[in-house]
Amino acid sequence: MKKIKIHIRNNHWKEGFLPCDEEGEKNNTITKEEFEKGLSRYPEIKDKIEYLIDWDDDNFKSSMKTADILLGWQFPTQNLKEIAPNLKWIHVISAGVNHLSPFNWMKEDLVLTNSSGVHAKKAGEFGLMSILMLQNHMTRLVTHQKNKEFVSLLGKPIEGRTVVAVGTGSLGGSMIKHISKLGAKVIGVNRKGKSVEGCSKVITFDQIDEVLPIVDFLYLAVPETEETKGLINKERLDKLKKTCGIVNIGRQSVLDYEYLKTKLEKDEIAGAILDVFSNEPIPKSSNLWDTPNLIITPHVSSDSEGNYIEMVLKIFFKNLKLFLDKKELINQVDRKLGY
């Protein structure tokens, strides 16, 4: 019987692209040892597959000529139909796939899956930490420290405060479970207004203007899609109270960073924590570095140290078993929605 061929593509880090440093590369590399460890849990699969672990474009074109499956993050999509005529399934090691859109390079029967879910635990704890930091004026305290100012800023418990979580999937949903247990009132925002555990109310994207004036903390955890690009624009930032705090762990395109910077400088927003940027790492010349009451984190809200690839491979091998059994795969990306 012909073996299923898997091409595994790792990426070396480079400026302006993920992974954006050596530590990121290390955390996102699929090694032979990791792959074999995951494979060992499925002894019935072992003899049915063959695989090549590769880097960037080293053997991409030659290997993809006969590949059935591609496992990786970033890869060239131009002419992929011709380069990889046998390709049936691509698994992306991240949850976000906006770097691959638009998806007109895909054949109709090509299946694209992502690693949504592996980030949930870490992202939930990061989200809880971020909102509690804002609640306790930590962004302001850090700015005061830089300015050598010893100023008392008193906080109080989060109970009764209103958190609006834009994006209630695995990332936003995990944070919501934590913060709601502390007594915060959480309003969720998603495409369909579908109910979410921990939310007192859930609204759709087009209803967001109704809740912005009452928000204490605006938490953004949505992927980049046509629906979310520019969602929190100048007009919507102006609807927020000056005591509001903002966290973004989704994508930069969702929020107007330039106008947010202006609002922070004018003390018209209490504080912000930004974890995602269109170009990473952000350049040393960026004016964000010196923005008051802003904490910048280098896209670390959801990547778990040490075992990230292990968690990704659990999803991949579960799907590989389904693929070999000719069953529907989990974590399929809807190319129209973009996630």
The domain segmentation of the chain, as residue ranges, is: 4-118+303-324, 120-296
pTM attached to this predicted model: 0.85
CA angle 276, 269, 300 (to 5 degrees): 20
pLDDT tens digits for range 189-226: 999 999 999 999 999 999 999 999 999 999 999 989 88
Whether 51 has a pLDDT exceeding 70, the answer reads yes
Report helix, strand or coil for 92: strand
310, two tokens: 């292990």
Quickly name the fold that domain 120-296 has: Rossmann fold (3.40.50)
Which one-letter amino acid corresponds to residue 119?
Answer: H
Whether 16 has a pLDDT exceeding 70, the answer reads no
Terminal Cα-to-Cα distance of the chain (whole angstroms): 35
pLDDT band at residue 319 using 50, 70 and 90 as cut-offs: very high
pLDDT band at residue 306 using 50, 70 and 90 as cut-offs: low
Instruction: Determine whether domain 4-118+303-324 maps to CATH 3.90.76.10.
Output: no
- What is the percent of the chain with per-residue pLDDT over 90, rounded to a whole number? 85
Q: Give the pLDDT score at 336.
A: 85
Look up residue 191 and give its DSSP letter.
Answer: S
Cα–Cα distance measured from residue 275 to residue 297, given in angstroms and rounded to the nearest whole number: 5
Neighbour-count burial for 234-266, b at 16+ CB within 10 Å, e otherwise: eebbebbeeebbbbbbbbbbbbbbebbbebbee
Domains 4-118+303-324 and 120-296 share a fold: yes
pLDDT band at residue 333 using 50, 70 and 90 as cut-offs: very high
